[in-house]
Structure 1
Amino acid sequence: MSDRELYCDSCEGVVPFEAPPCADGHGVDCPELVCTGCGAAVLIATFTFRAPRLASRRRVTPHRRAA
């Protein structure tokens, strides 16, 4: 089990959270954490975003019409 200190809404303060034994095989990197004070559970979600491809974008110039 791993310990992290996070803010708990139920305890209204910063308390240690621990990862319970994970049935999904995440081990210490399990995204589910439980407050050691009151037992409230939280889920830590991480997101991965692709970097935008700025170099491959073509610059569009407006067409001029002859008067």
Structure 2
Amino acid sequence: MQDRELRCVICDAEMPFEVPPCTDGHGADCPELVCTRCDAAEILAPLEVRVWLRPDNHRVAPLQRRAA
């Protein structure tokens, strides 16, 4: 099993985490990790960020403030 050191929220310390036997077929790349001290589970999921861009010819001017 492959060990990684991560912050465990239960132990409140940097602890070694290991990959448990994976039944989903991920092998060593399994996103599930278990703290070796308290058995707390962590799931490492990739974060996907999507950015919506407008074409340059559709720029919108910022709104101007008006005096009351």
TM-score > 0.5 by shorter chain: yes
Q: Which residue of 1 aligns with 2:22?
A: 22
Q: Structure 2: which 5+ residue stretches go unaligned?
A: 61-68
| TM-score, normalised by the number of residues in structure 1 | 0.70
TM-score by length of 2: 0.70
- In terms of Rg, which structure is larger? 1
**What is the number of residues matched between the two proteins?**
61
- What is the rounded CA distance, in whole Å, between the counterparts of 2:21 and 2:54 in structure 1? 43
Counterpart code for 1:5: E
Percent of residue pairs identical: 53
**Greater helix share, structure number:** 2
Tell me the CA shift for residue 48 of structure 1: 3.9
Unaligned stretches of 5+ in structure 1?
61-67
Residues 1:45 and 2:45 aligned together: yes
Partner of residue 34, structure 1: 34
| CA RMSD between the two structures | 2.1
- TM superposition shift of 1:9: 1.1
User: Where do residues 48-59 of structure 1 align in structure 2 (5 Å cutoff)?
Assistant: 48-49=48-49
